[in-house]
């Protein structure tokens, strides 16, 4: 059995630990992985970090110690043996409009009738179809580089919709012409947050990465993920959320949509996430909530956040969310 961290001796005989990070090869994945590596180097200067473009299964095979993901791409239930050991401070979680250069100065409102907008997200298409009925929506696939190229170099799309956070990380902020607020388009569960996946039994690595948890982001994302899990939504369902933390209250708005957005359900609930200042007794038990391990944070606030997501999903289910999602899924599968 290979230990998850092995030691390396430098020229002076000093022993340092090695952390191996696996990443996918896309530019966004590399940028996100590098930013996490930089943070870990800052926190643990003696640790030697290796980054390899190992396969995904590398974590399972003990070939790497952690993998960096966009949280929104991680299922609400991880395979057994894995956990999300850190959820980093969320960037702008909203979606953004990127225009074809010929449309500079326009907005979704002012684009001509039948302009074609590129997105493969059912969530984005459903909300925007309803809100901007003069526009048409078509699938656009591939990684961010491919999509931007398809937009700029062809005449197929008037604009595309992408997450503001990904655009910023890629250094393409200048291409953002419009940020979509919740009245136009609510975001995906976990959007804009980076997650670090580790093996659940690697307590040393878990402890090391746990300091990267951003408490508000963790609570918001636990609520969002609990909401999605209860709705049995995968990564491709017309489900959207909006969360806010204000004065020790966590607010969660969640919605489900039919594919064309004509049918929808949306509700908001809130819960207290106040935690008294007394340092909680550290529990030895490493609890996971919707895949997230954050035992350096108050448990009651995490429990309240998870319950908020569950309660909101139950409220929507009682109003017919299941039917809306079932029809949407069937229609989408048939297409």
Residue 163 in the binding site for ligand DPM (CB under 6 A): yes
x/- contact string, 168-207, with ligand DPM (CB under 6 A)?
Answer: --------------------x--xx---------------
Q: Active site includes 303?
A: no
Residue 108 in the binding site for ligand DPM (CB under 6 A): no
Residue 120 in the binding site for ligand DPM (CB under 6 A): yes
Residue 121 in the binding site for ligand DPM (CB under 6 A): yes
Pick 135 or 188: Cβ nearer ligand DPM: 188
Q: Which alpha helices (DSSP H) does the chain contain, by range?
A: 27-43, 122-131, 144-153, 164-169, 203-210, 215-230, 299-318, 321-334
Residue 166 in the binding site for ligand DPM (CB under 6 A): yes
Candidates 115-123, 213-221, 242-250, 303-311; binding stretch for ligand DPM (CB under 6 A): 115-123
- Minimum Å gap between C-beta 56 and ligand DPM is 15
Task: Select from 169, 196, 201 the least CA-distant residue to 40.
Answer: 196
Q: Please write down the long-range contacts of 283-287, taking CB distance under 8 Å and 24 or more positions apart.
A: 286/83, 286/200, 286/203, 286/206
Give the torsion through C-alpha atoms of 116, 185, 139, 90, to 10 deg.
130
Residue 221 in the binding site for ligand DPM (CB under 6 A): no
Buried b (16+ CB within 10 A) or exposed e, 64-96: bbbbbbbbbebebebeeebbbbbbbebbbbbbb
Residue 162 in the binding site for ligand DPM (CB under 6 A): yes
Please give the full DSSP string across 287-300, using - where no structure is assigned.
--BTTB--TTS-HH
Q: Active site includes 73?
A: yes
Q: Which of 123, 129, 199, 220 binds ligand DPM (CB under 6 A)?
A: 123
107, 161 contact by CB (below 8 A): no
Catalytic residue among 106, 123, 220, 229: 123
- Minimum Å gap between C-beta 263 and ligand DPM is 18
Pick 241 or 304: Cβ nearer ligand DPM: 241
Please give the structure tokens belonging to residue 154.
């062809």
168, 92 contact by CB (below 8 A): yes
Residue 44 neighbours by CB distance under 10 Å: 15
Pick 195 or 206: Cβ nearer ligand DPM: 195
Residue 72 in the binding site for ligand DPM (CB under 6 A): yes
Tokens 């409009």 map to which residue? 97
Candidates 37-45, 46-54, 114-122, 173-181; binding stretch for ligand DPM (CB under 6 A): 114-122
Alpha carbons 1 and 195: distance in angstroms, whole number: 26
Number of residues that bind ligand DPM (CB under 6 A): 16
Q: Active site includes 123?
A: yes
Please give the structure tokens belonging to residue 54.
């190992």
The footprint of ligand DPM (CB under 6 A) covers 70, 72-73, 119-121, 123-124, 162-163, 165-166, 188, 191-192, 235
Known catalytic residues are 72-73, 123-124, 141, 147, 235
């Amino acid at each position: 059995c290979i230990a998850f961290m092995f030691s390396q001796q430098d020229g002076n005989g000093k022993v340092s630990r090695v952390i191996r990070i696996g990443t996918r090869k896309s530019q966004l994945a590399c940028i996100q992985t590098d930013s996490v590596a930089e943070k870990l180097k800052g926190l643990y200067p003696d640790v030697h970090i290796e980054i390899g473009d190992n396969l995904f299964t590398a974590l399972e095979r003990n070939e790497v110690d952690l993998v960096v993901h966009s949280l929104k791409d991680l299922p609400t239930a991880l395979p057994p043996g894995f956990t999300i050991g850190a959820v980093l401070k969320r960037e702008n979680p909203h979606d953004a409009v990127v225009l074809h250069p010929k449309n500079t100065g326009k907005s979704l409102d002012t684009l001509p009738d039948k302009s074609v907008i590129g997105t493969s997200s059912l969530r984005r298409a459903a909300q925007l179809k309803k809100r901007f009925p003069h526009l048409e929506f078509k699938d656009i696939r591939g990684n961010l580089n491919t999509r931007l190229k398809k937009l700029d170099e062809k005449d197929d799309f008037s604009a595309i919709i992408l997450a503001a956070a990904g655009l910023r990380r890629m250094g393409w902020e200048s291409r953002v012409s419009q940020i979509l607020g919740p009245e136009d388009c609510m975001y995906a569960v976990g959007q804009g947050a980076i997650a670090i996946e580790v093996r659940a039994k690697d307590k040393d690595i878990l402890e090391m990465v746990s300091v990267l948890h951003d408490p508000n982001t963790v609570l918001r994302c636990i609520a969002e993920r609990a909401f999605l899990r209860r709705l049995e939504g995968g990564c491709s369902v017309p489900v959207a959320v909006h969360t806010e933390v204000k004065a020790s209250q966590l607010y969660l708005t969640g919605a489900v949509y039919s594919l064309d957005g004509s049918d929808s359900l949306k509700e908001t609930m809130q819960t207290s996430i106040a935690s008294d200042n007394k340092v909680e007794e550290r529990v030895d038990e490493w609890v996971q909530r919707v895949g997230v391990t954050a035992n350096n944070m108050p448990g009651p606030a995490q429990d309240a956040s998870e319950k908020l997501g569950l309660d909101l999903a139950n409220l929507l289910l009682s109003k017919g969310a299941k039917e809306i999602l079932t029809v949407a899924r069937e229609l989408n599968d048939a297409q």
